[in-house]
Amino acid sequence: MLRISKYQLFAMVVIFQLGTTIIFGFASSAGRDAWISSLMTTALGSILVGCYVLIFRLTGELSLVEWPTAMFGKWIGMPIAWLYPFVFIYDGARIVSDIRFLFPITVLHGTPNWIIGVTFLLVVAYALYSGFEVIARMTSLFLPLLLVFLIAETLLLWLSDRVDLLNLLPIMGEGWDRVLKTIWPLGITQTFGETIEFAVFWEYLESKGKKSLGRIMISGCLLSGFCITLFILLGSVCMGESIYKQMMYPAFALLKLANIADLLDNLDAVGIIYLVITAFGKLSLHLFAAVFCIQKLLKAQKYGFIIAIVCSLTYFISLTMVVSFTDHLQVAINVLPSRIWLPLFLYLPFLFLGATLLKKIIQGARS
């Protein structure tokens, strides 16, 4: 029977929430105050994830796609439930697009982006066919490696005499407006709202680990939030606000600044490691969440054919969703949060939570 450990779940949460956020930068429009946005988003996101765990507890540990039918019945709940695997596939396709746009610019110059997308997705498909436990073990190995590279990058930048803490001043000099705009709706939905898909995986957590599910999830949120905040601080103090805000890939630009005695410099390879680890982990979890959701909705015994369908849809959508990287970013900033993520990741879950609590109150009054 499929089982994952507490540490594996913790590692998956951190890798998933970091995603491509550490490459593209988080809340860069807030400039030198982006680290404040990150800390506030982490606090709010941890509360949101705690609410997801509460729904899981109150519904008797039902999976995510079982929440709508449990709340609203089959006829209303089933169409709502099908929205979740489709949005997970779409989000996975966006990661494939990230890879297609980013790799030719950074390391694989001149390589057709469709080849990059196919190759990356084939590796992910192989991992999916290997099983969910394989993904869990891989992310548990990736997490320490990622943290070691992050610590090493911080030390190298410090030793390269690139850090200027005065670049953070004046704190909140532009007021709260630009900070709050980065938190709502994009910040809270992109990094933490997507974590709702872990409600698909919680039933596979080892039985003794379910007692500490809330602590595991919130601890993962806090660590990922700390890592994102550290990346933001490094970008702000090393590059300054004006440059940091203009950078499309601040993580890569930051690595180019490290230089110790002309021996350790131009560490682009570390940036590629960041991207491959986090993109692979997040894409695998997106697609496995979609596969498990569809398996439950179809009541299928095996999911091999579902993996093939999900991967094919993901690649097709990644090729047709946008024609340029600028459009790709605009959709992520202006369309997805308000039209898709907020309804599915915030409004509906809180409706589920309210309906579940109301049922509990009514049942308690009757008894």
The count of other CB atoms within 10 Å of the CB of residue 161 is 9
- Please give the sequence-ordered ranges of beta strands (E in DSSP) within the chain, or none if there are none: 259-260, 264-265
Q: Are 164 and 238 in contact (CB under 8 A)?
A: yes
- At 165-221, the pLDDT tens digits run 888 888 888 888 888 988 888 888 888 999 999 999 999 999 888 889 999 999 999
Confidence band for 321, pLDDT divided at 50, 70 and 90: confident
Token couple for 191: 């990094």
Pick from 263, 233, 198: which is nearest to 63 by CA?
198
Distance CA 29, CA 308 (A): 39
Residue 155's pLDDT is 86
pLDDT beyond 60 at 261: no
Most confident segment among 11-20, 167-176, 215-224, 256-265: 215-224
Mean pLDDT of 254-265: 66
Residue 367's pLDDT is 64
Angle subtended at Cα 336 by Cα 334 and Cα 342, rounded to the nearest 5 degrees: 110
Token couple for 118: 């196919």
Token couple for 75: 């006829």
The count of other CB atoms within 10 Å of the CB of residue 252 is 21
Confidence band for 108, pLDDT divided at 50, 70 and 90: confident
Residue 113's pLDDT is 83
Mean pLDDT of 339-349: 92
Q: Are 200 and 64 in contact (CB under 8 A)?
A: yes
Residue 68's pLDDT is 92
DSSP 284-330: HHHHHHHHHHHHHHHT-S--HHHHHHHHHHHHHHHHHS-SSHHHHHH
Q: CATH fold of 6-351, please?
A: Hydantoin permease (1.10.4160)
Residue 259's pLDDT is 66
Mean pLDDT of 97-108: 79
Residue 260's pLDDT is 63
Residue with tokens 């550290």: 230
pTM: 0.93
Q: Are 251 and 19 in contact (CB under 8 A)?
A: no
In this prediction, what percent of the chain has a pLDDT beyond 90? 46
Is 264 strand, coil or helix? strand
In single-letter form, the type of residue at position 312 comes to S
pLDDT beyond 70 at 288: yes
In single-letter form, the type of residue at position 196 comes to I
Q: Report which of residues 336 and 204 the model is more confident about.
A: 204
Mean pLDDT of 313-339: 80
Sorted by where each begins, the domain ranges of the chain are: 6-351
- At 33-74, the pLDDT tens digits run 889 999 999 999 999 999 999 999 998 899 999 999 988 888
